[in-house]
């Protein structure tokens, strides 16, 4: 799998979206690659933390729309559902380095990360409703809890994007750095020097209060998302995207 690459940097596993020519839009194969990488990292004593980052100018343009149209993920066993489950269950520190566009799941996955470092170029958006879809990855719960109901409603319902400064003020991003990946790796290395079981236990405790509720919301979101994917509203939005690209 070359569109998701993994590399060890000391005790850190670096997972990289590597499809820059398509703005790192995520296909089923890429979700499968991400799931494998996370699950292997979870079981590997040599991996103390994971940094998720990207090749090129952007983090990711979210789900690959062509793939969505030809293979809508409607089953809990789909690659995207399996990735989201792996994200929710990942027991070790997960640090994201975000630059450029982080669209859809590119933003919602950050709600599961322990620390997010953004470059000043980062731009976040969750245009689910514009695509005839609904929020996913637990974001219908996690995002309003983070930023307040009304702000989340505006962002979800208008499709408005926001920049790194706003994301930091919201608490979606912990820090802004010109070299976001370098900064993320430094944090990962510091964490890697800590006693590993204490780190795993700390994450488990911090996440425990919400885990089951988030899992339940993700299940409900997935069912509605799967129906929405097959709706006329989504078909029209996807065709619009494709026709603009084919001109
Ligand atoms: N799925 C499939 N391909 C995508 C994609 C996606 N989600 N996002 C970008 N791409 C592809 C484009 O088709 C284009 O490829 P091409 O040159 O072979 O046509 C390439 O990536 C670059 O994207 P482009 O649209 O030309 O860049 P831009 O700077 O004009 O626009 C975006 C950037 C992010 C605003 C725009 O690409 C976009 O709206 N993408 C869809 C985002 C989205 O809705 N994701 C799903 C969320 S659930």
Query: What is each CA distance from 131 to 4, 60, 232, 241, in whole angstroms?
Result: 25, 17, 10, 9
CATH superfamily of 4-180: 2-enoyl-CoA Hydratase; Chain A, domain 1 (3.90.226.10)
127 lines ligand 1 (CB under 6 A): yes
What's residue 69's pLDDT? 87
How confident is the chain (247 residues) per 10-residue block, as mean pLDDT? Answer: 94 98 98 98 97 98 93 90 98 98 98 98 98 97 98 98 98 98 98 98 97 97 94 93 78
What's residue 76's pLDDT? 86
Instruction: For ligand 1, pick from 25, 31, 161 the residue to mutate: most ligand atoms within 8 Å of CB.
Output: 25
Answer yes or no: pTM beyond 0.75. yes
Reduce the DSSP state of residue 63 to 3 states and report it.
strand
Ligand 1 centre and the CA of 176: distance in Å?
25
* DSSP string covering 149-180: HHHHHHHHHH---EEHHHHHHHTS-SEE-TTH
Ligand 1 centre and the CA of 37: distance in Å?
25
Rg (CA), the chain: 17
Boundaries of every domain in the chain: 4-180
Residue 66 CA: nearest ligand 1 atom is 2
93 lines ligand 1 (CB under 6 A): no
What's residue 141's pLDDT? 98
């Amino acid at each position: 799998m070359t569109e998701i690459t993994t590399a060890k940097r000391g005790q850190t596993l670096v997972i990289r979206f590597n499809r820059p020519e398509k703005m790192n839009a995520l296909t089923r194969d890429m979700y499968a690659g991400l799931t494998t990488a996370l699950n292997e990292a979870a079981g590997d004593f040599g991996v103390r933390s994971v940094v998720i980052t990207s090749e090129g100018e952007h983090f990711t343009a979210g789900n690959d729309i062509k793939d969505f149209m030809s293979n809508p993920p409607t089953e809990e066993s789909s690659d995207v559902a399996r990735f989201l489950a792996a994200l929710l269950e990942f027991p070790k520190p997960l640090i994201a380095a975000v630059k450029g566009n982080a669209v859809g799941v590119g933003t919602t996955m950050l709600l599961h990360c322990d620390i997010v470092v953004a470059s000043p170029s980062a731009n976040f958006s969750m245009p689910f409703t514009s695509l005839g879809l609904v929020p996913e990855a637990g974001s219908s719960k996690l995002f309003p809890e983070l930023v307040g109901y009304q702000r989340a409603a505006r962002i979800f319902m208008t499709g408005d994007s926001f920049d790194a400064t706003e994301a930091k003020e919201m608490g979606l991003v912990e820090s802004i750095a010109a070299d976001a990946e370098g900064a993320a790796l430094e944090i990962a290395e510091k964490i890697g020097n800590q006693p590993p079981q204490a780190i795993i236990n700390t994450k488990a405790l911090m996440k425990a209060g919400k885990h089951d509720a988030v899992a339940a919301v993700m299940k409900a979101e997935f069912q509605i998302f799967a129906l929405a994917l097959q709706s006329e509203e989504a078909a029209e939005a996807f065709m619009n995207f494709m026709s603009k690209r084919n001109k």
